[in-house]
Amino acid sequence: MSNHLAIATATSALRYVLARALREQHPGAVADAQVTTLRPDRLGSADLVHSAGVNVFLYRVTPNAALRSADLPGRDHEAAFLSRPLQALDLHYLITCHGKDSALEAQRLLGRAVTALAANPVLGPRLVAAAVDAYADVDDTAFLRESDLVAQREPVRVTPTTLSSDELSKLWSVFPQTPYQLSVAYAATVVLVEEPVATRRALPVRERAVTVHPAPAPLLTSVGEAGANSPAVPGGPLVLRGERLLGPVTRVRIGPVELDPLPGGTSSLLSVVTGDDVPAGLHPVQVLHLTAQPPGDGPRVAGASNALPATVRPAVRRVVSGDTGVLIDLTPPLFAGQQATLLFSRPPGAGGTGPGTVTVVLPPRAPGAPPQSSLRVPPGEVPSGARLVRVQVDGVDSLPEPMDQPPASPAVPLPPS
């Protein structure tokens, strides 16, 4: 890759190839011909109108068709760079020759230019380094000392391109009051421009180890509180059914948490208790087989089952109403990134005025925030009367019975608003 000076360095390398070709001895040489990098409308200025030379002008830059998709997004979940941003560019040049028409100087220079570029179709490291040495001592091009195009792994290739009469006419029309000069188009491809940002790297691998596990991986067929893909509640058992579930060391992964199965499991049935460390919501469940390692090393995963979805339902443990509002204790607590919605519904058959269900949407927990097991609703947001209290966490609802009252009477009295 190369830095942002690669485009100007490629232009200088083309200029160097043409200037070296004009200095060499050849038949029909044009005396005192120079190579410039001016806009074509400058070729008619007073200082150049009577001179002969070749002009190199970059008139267009396009993404490289083959490598334009090579730089996929290279950032992690924290937006830190995993790889440096890269642009693959094709440079389009207009090579213009000018001189005394009666002596056909422009045509002689054009012939010398195209043969020189045919003999040097690749701007390799040696040629680029020679161009840097030739022009870096000039004030206008002293920046070439900081270019690293010479280290680009993919060399820049120069090929002639075809411009139709219509394209050539449109190109010269952008230079007002400039007479047409004998020109030919070339493309230089590919220039890889890279931004030298700091990237985040993984720690180096200290030791490589291969574990051979001859037994097939475990297979899950159903996950649920009763083994039928039913939701689980905190503190309740989650039953896993399948094949080859028991291994040397068996763990159950539920979302971000790994748990030990309950004793007495078999190769076709395991049970695990979901505690407050398992967030409410929909999670993938897997059975992991771990292999014990030599002393000093931890266990490694030797086999993993397919993943099946399991729903962990939140539960309302206690509801306290008072002058400061309504305090609701729930399990499991809200973890960072989760969002809760509280629903206060009028019990069936209960009279009263106002809306039947009041919904209070709480803001999501900030990243890195500690677990929150209590939610508070300010006074006045819930109308007075008996209400069924439910909580919804990441789209999963709790059961409508409060934990501190019998199911036959699930209503919670709230203070007047």
pLDDT at 8 over 80: yes
Instruction: Report the mean per-residue pLDDT for the chain.
Output: 83
Tell me the pairing of strands 340-345 and 357-361. antiparallel
pLDDT at 74 over 80: no
pLDDT at residue 115, rounded to an integer = 94
Angstrom distance (rounded) from CA 327 to CA 52: 89
For the chain, the helix, strand and coil percentages under 3-state DSSP, each to the nearest 5: 15, 35, 50
- Joined together, the tokens standing for residue 302 give 């030797």
Q: Are 33 and 22 in contact (CB under 8 A)?
A: yes
> pLDDT band at 414, cuts 50/70/90?
low
pLDDT at residue 193, rounded to an integer = 87
pLDDT at residue 225, rounded to an integer = 64
pLDDT at 406 over 90: no
Give whole-number Cα distances, 337 to 280, 318, 340, 363, 374, in Å: 12, 23, 10, 10, 16
- pTM (2 d.p.): 0.50
> pLDDT band at 122, cuts 50/70/90?
very high
Angle at 96 between CA 91 and CA 102, to 5 degrees: 170
> pLDDT band at 224, cuts 50/70/90?
confident
Task: Give the model confidence (pLDDT) of 156-190 as tens digits.
Answer: 999 999 988 898 888 888 887 788 889 999 999 99
**Higher-pLDDT residue of 400, 175:** 175
pLDDT at residue 48, rounded to an integer = 52
> 330: how many CB neighbours lie within 10 A of its CB?
25
Residue (of 415, 408, 343, 359) closest to 386 by Cα position: 415
pLDDT at 410 over 50: no
What amino acid is encoded at 121 in this protein?
Answer: P
> pLDDT band at 119, cuts 50/70/90?
very high
Of 118-127, 201-210, 239-248, least confident by mean pLDDT is 201-210
> pLDDT band at 107, cuts 50/70/90?
very high
